[in-house]
Amino acid sequence: MNFKHKYVFLLPGLIVLIGILIFPIIFTVRLSLSGWNSFNPGLDFIGFKNYVRLFTDDPRFWQSFFRLSFLAITTVFLQYVIGFALAHMVWKDIKFKRFFRVLFLIPMMTTPVIMTVIWRTFFHESLGPLNDFLSIFGVQPPWLSSPSLAKVSIIVVEVWQWTSFMFLLMLAGLLSLPKEPFLAAAVDGASPFKKFIYVTFPLMAPISIGAIVIRLIEASKIMDTVFVLTSGGPGTSTETSSFFIFIKGLREFQMGYAATASFTYLIIMIISLTIIVKVLTKVLMRE
Amino acid sequence: MKLKTLISALASVLLIGSQVAHADKWGDQFPHIAATGDIPGMCSYESMSKKDYSGRTLTINTHAIPVMGEPTALHAEQFEKLTGAKVEVTHTPAGDLYSKAMVPFQAGQAPYDIVFGFSNFINDWKRYLAPVPQEYVDQMEGVSASHKAIASWDGVMYQYPVDGDRHYLKYRKDVIDNPEMQAKYKADTGNELKVPTTWKEYGEMASYFNGWDWDGDGEPEYGSAEVMKKDDLMYAAFYSRSVAYAKNPSTPGGFFFDLETMEPLINNPGFVEALTDWVDAVNYVPPGGINFGLGDEINSFGGGQTLFSFSWDDAFVAAMQPDSPISNQVGAAQLPGADRVWNRENGMWDAKSNQAPFFVWGWAVGVAGKSDNKDVAFDYLCFFANGANHQADIGIGRFGVNPFMEEDFKADVWTQIGWDKDIAQSYVETLADMEKSTNRVFPLRVPGTFEFNSALATGTAKALAGQLSPQAALDEVYAEWVAILERVGADNVRDAYAVGVKMEDNEL
């Protein structure tokens, strides 16, 4: 094939890449160097003023980032454990296997915002069914009014919604595993526990890393659940980075500063996820 | 004299007769106005039916249903039937109304012909809105002068008046005026049970009536329902609690800032005292009350769950609706005051009784300057606020349409929809007294309003959640406000703020 033809075939993809990925990033960087707000709309140039403000004078951004890290790691860990367990369960020949496989996928197929509204009703402290039931035992936990329980509520909703996704990936992984190592383990008389630890788990390591990273990327953008369930409250106790950026950009209309926070957050996430992949590869694949 | 009386009676009969005739024609077709029928005017049902907007599409961005969103959609449907126009209504949460209009405004676009928002957006929005044409202004005879002024900037009206809001106290009349409850309260606390005139009394009574079944419905009731949810207008609730402690008639020249120096006053002892009271209130709101937005407050008080509430009219009107369990069992009064008020000039408390009404102004709506359908848009807004629609709308609590016309301040308007006479009287007197007060506070209408209010909401929410003490929370807000002033420009803010200060200092 002619050398130039190669570039012609690449061109459509390149245009799409520039249009939907490169341009928004470059525009965000440019916006981050401006003071665009409700009073001064426009791309003026204020240098690194926004970055200085973010790094030296905005603890709220960093608090929201560490809160996000906690929520993302906790939810993804729980999703992985539960999702793997459920996948392992229906991987075996059990009764109503097909029914359970469909059942476990249902949460993922529902609309997150609508489900979160339902969860909010569920957690409602004076009118919700959960506290109505718990009042039988004389307890009425402040699910959304206590800073710590509000975080727990978000974790519950996120785990409920996205464990299905983890389940799907882990089940696909389990179904694609070769049979020979399991036959060999059976011949050696390995117990089910040992089979899981020494055969299933190592064989599932590559897909586990992929699933965890995909979910971590998604969980790091957690926004709809926080927005609907707690609005970042009580106080700022459930505010995450994306919610903070939303407030600064679309509520307070500090577009320039929101772009600064957004770009900084992107860089931090790229670095963090690269490190996480390295660590997971080392730990799970024992490289 | 007799002849005059006879002529007057005859005229009344004819007037009523003509209205009934309209009710027959339009009231049957549009049940919403069945009670009054059409009321003649430039934008009445009759007048609109003569317009032909077939083939034209009007786009509206309004609030979520029900508050303001429901009447917008209802009147859009009626307008379509009358004029043949197609009206597309988009519903948006309160917190996003500002940005949903501002993003396209700043990009030079007009995806919506009509944008709903709050009255205090005027300073940021006015450069993107079309002025209300004089012919529409001229027909607003019934709109109070103060409301016309609020909808205008430098004498030009940008916001079409559809709503007028004030914050005042709502209370359960069947409890506060109940001799048995009064005796019980006296025996248990040593104090009189009466309409609270200070926030301290409000707190004491709300605490006492919190968490037990005082109305015998088998469910526990609570002290107070308030808007405490961050980013859901909680800043307005805080201002209502602050005015008594921080609006001193002896120290004119600014409530939010010292107009001369533009020093934020938000962390002075008056505001701190108000926030301290508010933090205490967390103990007497219903479970989950710290997350109550305006809708929750309306449902909670309107549904009979609490003794008190303050803020917009909606909760009161909802409580008075025939389907409410506490219909005709509620009372209205001025916001509670305080026994002392902060004097920022001498840096001391003035030991005197102080009360200050807080005007919230409420919903506002404008037509995009770049709209291609300005004629249809203004006709729609004029139709929205016509006499028949207005009278029907103000009687439905969840609609969020509140009094702003001279007519609304007459008790008869309310007794006609089933309110007890004394309740209607106390309601209109409460509103009228606020208009007469010389110690009023108006909301911020300055560049960057949303930044100031958002910073306040974040700080106060931290205090309510126990993350910071009231003083530390307001010190944080103060620092934020100073930073906002620096970004937006203190002089820009001062120029706009001076207008509000003049109104507060009774110079306008």
| Residue B60 and residue B108 share a domain | yes
Residue of B nearest to A46 (CA): B487
B98 CB within 8 Å of a chain A CB:
yes
> Are the C-beta atoms of residues A159 and A82 closer than 8 Å to each other?
yes
Residue of B nearest to A121 (CA): B288
- Peptide bond before residue A142 is cis, with ω within 30 degrees of 0: no
B451–A144: do the CB atoms touch at under 8 Å?
Answer: no
Q: How high is the mean pLDDT of chain A?
A: 92
Q: Is the pLDDT of residue A148 over 50?
A: yes
Domain that holds residue A102: 60-241+262-284
| Residue B130 and residue B178 share a domain | no
Tokens of B212: 């037990």
This complex has an ipTM of 0.86
pLDDT digits (tens, 9 = 90+) for B125-168: 999 999 999 999 999 988 987 788 889 988 899 999 999 888 99
Give the number of domains in chain B: 2
CATH number reported for the structural domain that contains residue A205 in this entry: 1.10.3720.10
A53 belongs to a structural domain: no
| Residue B312 and residue B262 share a domain | yes
Tokens of A76: 């993804």
CATH number reported for the structural domain that contains residue B116 in this entry: 3.40.190.10
Q: What is the helix (H) or strand (E) element at residue B383, kind and residue range?
A: helix B374-384
B462–A236: do the CB atoms touch at under 8 Å?
Answer: yes
B2 belongs to a structural domain: no
d(CA B245, CA B439): 12
pLDDT of residue B10: 47
A252 belongs to a structural domain: no
Contacts of residue B354, defined as CB under 8 A and 6 or more positions apart, other chains included, come to B244, B245, B247, B248, B249, B337, B338, B340, B341, B439
| H-helix segments, B132-198 | 134-138, 145-150, 173-176, 179-189
B416 CB within 8 Å of a chain A CB:
no
A13 CB within 8 Å of a chain B CB:
no
B227 belongs to a structural domain: yes
Contacts of residue B465, defined as CB under 8 A and 6 or more positions apart, other chains included, come to A147, A233, A234, A235, A236, A237, B290
Can you give the length of chain B in residues?
508
Q: b vs e for B22-37, b when ≥16 Cβ sit within 10 Å of the residue's Cβ?
A: bbeebbeebebbeebb
B467–A235: do the CB atoms touch at under 8 Å?
Answer: yes
Tokens of B325: 């369990």
Contacts of residue A146, defined as CB under 8 A and 6 or more positions apart, other chains included, come to A234
d(CA B140, CA B376): 18
A251–B98: do the CB atoms touch at under 8 Å?
Answer: yes
| Residue B392 and residue B311 share a domain | no
> Are the C-beta atoms of residues A81 and A224 closer than 8 Å to each other?
no
B230–A124: do the CB atoms touch at under 8 Å?
Answer: no
pLDDT of residue A1: 55
The pTM score is 0.87
B35 belongs to a structural domain: no
- The answer for A 176-195 residues in CB contact with B (under 8 A) is none
**Taking the C-alpha atoms of A72, A75, A81 and A84 in order, what is their torsion angle to the nearest 10 degrees?**
-90
| Residue B153 and residue B246 share a domain | no
pLDDT digits (tens, 9 = 90+) for A83-99: 999 999 999 878 888 89
pLDDT in tens, chain B (508 residues): 444 444 544 444 444 444 444 455 898 899 999 988 999 999 999 999 999 999 999 999 999 988 899 999 999 999 999 999 999 999 998 878 988 999 999 889 999 999 999 988 898 899 999 999 999 999 998 898 778 888 998 889 999 999 988 899 999 999 999 999 999 999 999 999 999 999 999 999 999 999 999 999 998 999 999 999 987 789 999 999 999 999 999 999 999 999 999 999 999 999 999 999 999 999 999 999 999 988 889 889 988 999 999 988 888 988 898 889 999 999 999 999 999 999 999 999 999 999 999 988 789 999 999 999 999 999 999 999 999 999 999 988 889 898 888 889 899 989 988 899 999 999 999 988 988 899 999 989 999 888 999 999 999 999 999 999 999 999 999 999 999 999 999 999 999 999 889 989 988 7
d(CA B334, CA B316): 13
d(CA B4, CA A279): 96
Q: Is the pLDDT of residue A61 over 80?
A: yes
A233 belongs to a structural domain: yes
Domain that holds residue B85: 40-164+362-404
| Residue B201 and residue B82 share a domain | no
Q: Which of A231, A237, A248, A257 to mutate to test the interface with B (most CBs of B within 10 A)?
A: A231
A235–B487: do the CB atoms touch at under 8 Å?
Answer: no
A38 belongs to a structural domain: no
- The answer for A 135-174 residues in CB contact with B (under 8 A) is 140, 142-145, 147
Residue of A41, A145, A147 with shortest CB distance to B291: A145
| Residue B381 and residue B240 share a domain | no
> pLDDT over 90 for what percent of chain A?
80
| Residue B319 and residue B218 share a domain | yes
A202 belongs to a structural domain: yes
| Residue B171 and residue B111 share a domain | no
d(CA B139, CA B304): 40
Size of interface A-B (CB pairs under 8 A): 104
B287–A230: do the CB atoms touch at under 8 Å?
Answer: no
B451–A234: do the CB atoms touch at under 8 Å?
Answer: no
Give the number of domains in chain A: 1
How many angstroms away from the CA of A251 is the closest CA of chain B?
6
Q: b vs e for A52-88, b when ≥16 Cβ sit within 10 Å of the residue's Cβ?
A: ebbeeebebbebbbebbbebbebbbebbbebbbebbb
d(CA A124, CA B143): 41
| Residue B308 and residue B182 share a domain | yes
- Angle subtended at Cα B51 by Cα B46 and Cα B52, rounded to the nearest 5 degrees: 140
Burial class (CB in 10 A: 0-12, 13-18, 19+), A262: buried
pLDDT of residue B446: 93
pLDDT of residue B233: 84
A47 belongs to a structural domain: no
| Residue B241 and residue B276 share a domain | yes
How many angstroms away from the CA of B138 is the closest CA of chain A?
32
| Residue B157 and residue B47 share a domain | yes
Q: Is the pLDDT of residue A3 over 70?
A: no
| H-helix segments, B177-250 | 179-189, 199-208, 234-246
A246 belongs to a structural domain: no
**Which residue in the block uniquely carries the two structure tokens 């454990």?**
A81
pLDDT of residue B19: 44
Q: What is the helix (H) or strand (E) element at residue B171, kind and residue range?
A: strand B165-172
pLDDT digits (tens, 9 = 90+) for A186-230: 999 999 999 999 999 999 999 999 999 999 999 999 999 999 999
> Are the C-beta atoms of residues A240 and A222 closer than 8 Å to each other?
yes
A37–B230: do the CB atoms touch at under 8 Å?
Answer: no
B131 CB within 8 Å of a chain A CB:
no
User: For residue A77, which of A215, A246, A237 has the smallest C-alpha distance?
Assistant: A215
How many angstroms away from the CA of A15 is the closest CA of chain B?
24
User: For residue B272, which of B500, B490, B452, B476 has the smallest C-alpha distance?
Assistant: B476
- The answer for A 54-73 residues in CB contact with B (under 8 A) is 57, 60
pLDDT of residue B147: 83
The DSSP-derived string for B385-441 is TSHHHHHHHTT-GGG-----BGGGGSHHHHHTTT--HHHHHHHHHHHHHHHH-SS-B
pLDDT of residue B16: 42
A270 belongs to a structural domain: yes
Residue of B102, B230, B289 with shortest CB distance to A38: B102
Maximum Cα interatomic distance, chain B, rounded to a whole number of Å: 74
Residue of A nearest to B234 (CA): A235
How many angstroms away from the CA of B96 is the closest CA of chain A?
7
How many angstroms away from the CA of B488 is the closest CA of chain A?
7
Rounded alpha-carbon distances, angstroms, from residue B406 to B31, B50, B190, B411: 25, 28, 43, 11
pLDDT of residue A286: 66
How many angstroms away from the CA of A58 is the closest CA of chain B?
10
Q: Which of A252, A254, A260 to mutate to test the interface with B (most CBs of B within 10 A)?
A: A252
B466 CB within 8 Å of a chain A CB:
yes
pLDDT of residue B293: 87
Helix (H, G, I), strand (E, B) or coil at B8: helix
B475 belongs to a structural domain: yes
Question: In chain A, which residues have their Cβ closer than 8 Å to the Cβ of B470?
Answer: none
